Structure 1
């Protein structure tokens, strides 16, 4: 998926330049989505973004932004200058002595924290860890290995055995990614506000509705209303 990474980073910088009170009122809601392969998490995340009218930042998009940020030093410096003491504390807590502070991790963390100020649905890349403690909805979409393997087998036209290995290997890689970078357990339920097992959901639309309702329960729909008003957009 093509993306103008610099434009996204510039939008983040502009959001951070808003007066604090106005920025808090106008910011769109943020939902992080962690998912297992074959659980339908990507489809559900996209549907949630469309339903709520907010941007979708998939893992490949976030990676593209972080990669672009690596060469756009002036943009990333502008971002860093806007981050407050709380951000610095979170960075210190997350990227402590347990993990290395390589450039990719630094830019990735900075970008995700910046996206918090613009709003949207953030898929994967440890967003639920980086934004812990903030007014976001952290969702995890899961499924049993068997159910996920069946979906992958049908979607990709591969054998069930091959699909099962693919799901298991992917789960291990994602778990290692979260542990290596954040020293956090991939399956720790306390890291999420909502966990949905999609094994027996016939329609993902029902899961989307549950997430939207949870966002409303957290008051995130009021943030969307405020952001729409501030932008002069029609309010649903």
Structure 2
């Protein structure tokens, strides 16, 4: 068995956080789902292909979309990512991970491609909204953040998506966004990470401290907000006393009630999810 912490041949080695223990043969051919020797594929092609796939999907969609999104803010190890995946599958929604959104926001070329999926009227409205947000000083005006804001607002225009992290709940209009916060006690989060990432207890504690600290700093710097403020969200859920499937079911029920109240019951995903 080859511990990923000692893996010196995979192109992911510098940034891998999964810490899989994977099998290998005598020639060090590693049997890992994320294994790659090609740094170019890792850094560029995978992200680009995921973005291109989503762009093509948007272009092919003929029926109108209702402008709603579920945003997921979560504590590290709380199960927020897993709940997001369950919801996306059950509701037939697109799952937009924070890492992909960040990649797009860091590339003006990718950001432009995303924005070009909107029609002229929507683009005009998007520009006005972005400019008003920055001029009102509700967010700080870095080039990266402007791209990030444009990308997340574009996702909001298309709708039918779950956006994980990246301060999306602070960017998207609250009238069109179901904002979820997922939390759990520290000891449970540590156990979850020790199990899912094969971390030691110390490594799990350090990971939580680093990731949560980064998220808090990001929101405070750009939005002058504290992620622990409950009034930023439509629903908060503690995964301590229920499994992730049960937590996802509770969120789904709350989202469908919110969608009905806000007049989005005609949307196919909502109708399907109600059964």
Q: Structure 1 43/95 Cα, relative in aligned 2: closer, same or farther at 3 Å?
A: farther
Q: Tell me the alpha carbon deviations over residues 114-134 of structure 1, each in whole angstroms, 9 at most, x when there is no partner.
A: 111222111001110001422
For residue 197 of structure 1, the aligned residue among 223, 238, 251 is 238
Aligned counterpart, 2:70: 31
Q: Which has the higher helix share?
A: 1
Computed over aligned residues only, the root mean square deviation of the Cα atoms, in angstroms, reads 3.3
Matched position secondary structure for 1:56: strand
Aligned-residue offset at 1:74: 5.3
Residue 126 (structure 1) aligned to one of 160, 164, 167: 167
Task: Give secondary structure in 1 for the equivalent of 2:267.
Answer: helix
TM-score with structure 1 setting the length? 0.79
**Change in CA separation of 1:99 and 1:30 when aligned onto 2, cut-off 3 Å:** closer
After superposition, the Cα gap between the structure-2 partners of 1:88 and 1:183, relative to the gap in structure 1 and judged at 3 Å, is farther
**Residues 53-92 of structure 1 deviation map (CA, whole Å, 9 limit, x = unaligned):** 1110011121233244x12575467459634558634653
| Gap regions ≥5 residues in structure 2 | 1-45
Higher RCO, Cα 8 Å, sep 6+: 1
Matched residue of 2:237: which SS? strand
Residues 150/179 of structure 1: CA separation in 2 closer, same or farther (3 Å cut): same
Which residue of the other structure, out of 80, 83, 95, is the alignment partner of 1:56? 95
Report the more deviating stretch, 106-115 or 2-11.
2-11
Structure exhibiting the larger radius of gyration computed from Cα positions: 2
- Cα drift, residue 100 of structure 1: 4.0
1:114 to 1:54, Cα distance in 2 relative to 1, 3 A: same
TM-score, L = length of structure 2: 0.69
What is the rounded CA distance, in whole Å, between the counterparts of 1:173 and 1:99 in structure 2? 17
- Paired residues of 1:27 and 1:227 also in contact (CA < 8 A): no
Among candidates 159, 176, 184, match of residue 143 of structure 1: 184
CA contact 2:140–2:223 (8 Å) conserved in 1: no
Is the contact between residue 95 and residue 181 of structure 1 (CA under 8 Å) also seen in structure 2?
A: no
Aligned residues: 223
